Structure 1
């Protein structure tokens, strides 16, 4: 057994993650939530950093909003106000803080969605579009509640959007 461990390469270790998952916390629900959280948080961090790099490069060229709709550029200016600080240290601190916040949001949304779909599958005994719709609606509502100025209309709209997107993904999963 120890000889097998000594001959395994890094590539063999990475391949084993696809089979068993990244975590073994003792319960499939915990494993699923944690794995979804970590994967989505990483994607959220990459998205936040790449978006900031794009806007920094755009400002460096002296270009205007680059033909982007005003709601995108306006949201960017409100989200990261400290990134135009006088020092690089202040800008880097703001980037790290905002990237962490966004990756946490992505991770919580993915973990919540994954946990709710798993729980509904176990409770109902089946996995179908109804589980996806309910999980998407709950996750959409939770995400709307994390925004600073959430209104009743925004919460309902986010729940409907989350349900629609997750149901469509579930129904289209067998096609592609």
Structure 2
């Protein structure tokens, strides 16, 4: 085989890979369940990180304007502002940056775990039942919601049940509305 044909095959393979990227996904771990869990985890963790950094940037901008808590901010924002990073008051920028990175990492991990767990459960239930319907979404949402409630500090029985019901309701609604829009 000559060199020209060899490079042509490599180029064609690379082009084929790039063209078919959306079909295969980001990862190939050898099993569709693992691929789906990891891909969903990575995507959701990225979204969680962006959300955490944008929230911190917003609060930093609000603090920079000199606005106090009674300056027209809604109560849910002013209470979140008070409790967001309580150990940073009066510390150096390096420690503030370190705390922001830790907070962003923690939040992105939470988002990733929730999305990966949900994706894995819906895929597993689809394979086990042979159908993908609102029932799979409801069960996966309930289990994911309850699991997330268990990660909270001092979680109560009521919180776990509320999170399970909320997770089931949101995922069921999303599944049912997917066909409409």
| Equivalent position SS for 1:134 | helix
Where do 5+ consecutive residues of structure 1 fail to align?
none
Does the 8 A contact of 1:39 with 1:107 survive in 2? yes
Equivalent-residue separation in structure 2 for 1:104 and 1:58 (angstroms): 26
Out of 38, 51, 58, the residue aligned to residue 54 of structure 1 is 58
Q: Decide whether aligned partners of structure 1 residues 107 and 63 sit closer, same or farther in structure 2, where only a CA change above 3 A counts.
A: same
1:38 match? 42
Equivalent-residue separation in structure 2 for 1:86 and 1:166 (angstroms): 42
Pairing 1:145–2:150 present: yes
Equivalent-residue separation in structure 2 for 1:81 and 1:6 (angstroms): 54
Does the 8 A contact of 1:85 with 1:91 survive in 2? no
More displaced 10-residue stretch of structure 1: 46-55 or 74-83? 74-83
2:130 match? 125
| Equivalent position SS for 2:30 | coil
2:3 match? none
Within 5 A, what are the aligned runs for 1:13-162?
13=18, 16-65=20-69, 67-162=72-167
TM-score of the two chains, using structure 1 as the length reference: 0.89
More displaced 10-residue stretch of structure 1: 74-83 or 109-118? 74-83
Equivalent-residue separation in structure 2 for 1:68 and 1:174 (angstroms): 39
Q: CA deviation at 1:123?
A: 0.5
TM-score of the two chains, using structure 2 as the length reference: 0.87
Kindly tell me the number of residue pairs found equivalent between the two proteins: 173
- RMSD between aligned alpha carbons? 2.0
Q: Looking at CA atoms only, which structure, 1 or 2, has the larger radius of gyration?
A: 2
Q: CA deviation at 1:85?
A: 4.3
Equivalent-residue separation in structure 1 for 2:27 and 2:90 (angstroms): 40
